[in-house]
Structure 1
């Protein structure tokens, strides 16, 4: 028998016997898979001082299923920083949050992301592209109008806030803006307590057009003049659309004083393997 196979079989029988002995002595909770997780936990966290008391065993058991050390470190740090429940953390792992954030960074940025978690240093750090709305549980071929998407997001507000990220607080839906006796309605308004500014969100269930970006600009100017109070920073606008063309966005936002961002959304979980490969390319680059 080859040496490697012999060691594997010995290790498997050892876990089986240990599981039986512990269950006989202490009762339930010592299945072979749990014993394996305990062993894996010790190999990844040999120093008990590095383990956070803010996370449950369920958190760590899920973290141990992540083979990539950088991704595991990020989810651990971010769970502690944002006080994620086990379900919230699992959702962020399934939606490939680490990889989505990492793709906008260089090698140094990816390593810092894994070591410290997601930090809001500039306004752009609060923006994701794409946003993942798999929690709406809509079929990919579902034809959805903007008002319908808005209603679905508000109906799932807690999950939507989790996807938006730390710091977002819901303010209003269909916020009315009246200028010269003409009424316009902003889809969604949030306030970002870390950035200390209003965040105006406009939803588009089609490809974004330059007119959409032009429409956002007066909304931001209105909030700057009429809604901001002392201590507030300038508002930011996010157009979340089904699709976008990079040059359209570049030319439409170029030269604007206001901060306007355009992101895509998708109704399904991303291809984790493809994203992992892209992040690996960044890490392997010099």
Structure 2
């Protein structure tokens, strides 16, 4: 099933409502977004329902934590947000693919569509993103954020 992510998600998000000054890490970004949840949902767009932060999934004997987990009513699927406080790197996709597979196997309900992943990075080179996504089978989008 091919899903057109561009009709439901933006390529860039503006988080000017966060009070992050200067360099910050992923934890600072996550805490700021959770604190400003209403503004975050308004920036993301309609139909998003917040599920949890640091959403725990267990694979084998290991615990893993998704940064932010939402449900999108219109698309009827889980949406995992992975936050990166630096520039996009292709290896970020393997982590997000792993999370999406885990969600689809253990969390997604039978009537729901496959989970979608959004990788939010401080910056991205569109050509690098294009190459990195060219063989990906998972519905993933890489977006940048601005403060």
TM bin, normalised by shorter chain, reads over 0.9
Checking the alignment, whether the CA contact within 8 Å between 1:237 and 1:260 is kept in structure 2 is yes
Q: Matches of 2:141 and 2:12 in 1, distance apart?
A: 12
Measure the CA separation in 2 of the matches of 1:124 and 1:219. Answer: 21
Paired residues, number: 145
Q: 1:145 aligns with which of 2, 25, 28?
A: 25
Larger relative CO (CA 8 A, sep 6+): 1 or 2? 2
1:136 is aligned to 2:31: no
Partner of 1:233: 113
Q: Distance in 2 between matches of 1:129 and 1:249?
A: 12
SS at match of 1:217: helix
User: Given that residues 123 and 195 in structure 1 are in contact (C-alpha distance below 8 angstroms), is that contact kept between their aligned partners in structure 2?
Assistant: no
Deviations 1:212-253 (A, max 9, x none): 011110111111111111220011000011011122211221
Secondary structure of 2:135's match?
coil
Question: Is contact 1:214-1:252 (8 Å) kept?
Answer: no
Q: Which residue of 2 aligns with 1:250?
A: 130
Determine the C-alpha separation between the residues in 1 that align with 2:95 and 2:20. 28
CA RMSD of aligned residues (A): 1.3
1:155 aligned to 21, 24, 35, which one? 35
- 1:216 equivalent in structure 2: 96
Any gaps of 5 or more consecutive residues in structure 1? 1-120, 268-286
Q: Distance in 1 between matches of 2:132 and 2:5?
A: 19
Q: Which runs of 5+ in 2 are unaligned?
A: none
Shift, 1:123, TM fit: 3.0
Cα distance change on mapping 1:122 and 1:211 into 2, 3 Å: closer
Match of 1:168 in 2: 48
Name the one with the larger strand percent. 2
Task: Summarize the alignment of residues 166-205 of structure 1 with structure 2, pairs less than 5 Å apart.
Answer: 166-205=46-85
Q: Which residue does 2:6 correspond to in 1?
A: 124
More helix by share: 1
**How far has the Cα of 1:255 moved from its partner?**
1.8
Answer yes or no: is the 8 Å Cα contact 1:199–1:237 preserved in 2. yes
Q: CA deviation at 1:265?
A: 0.4
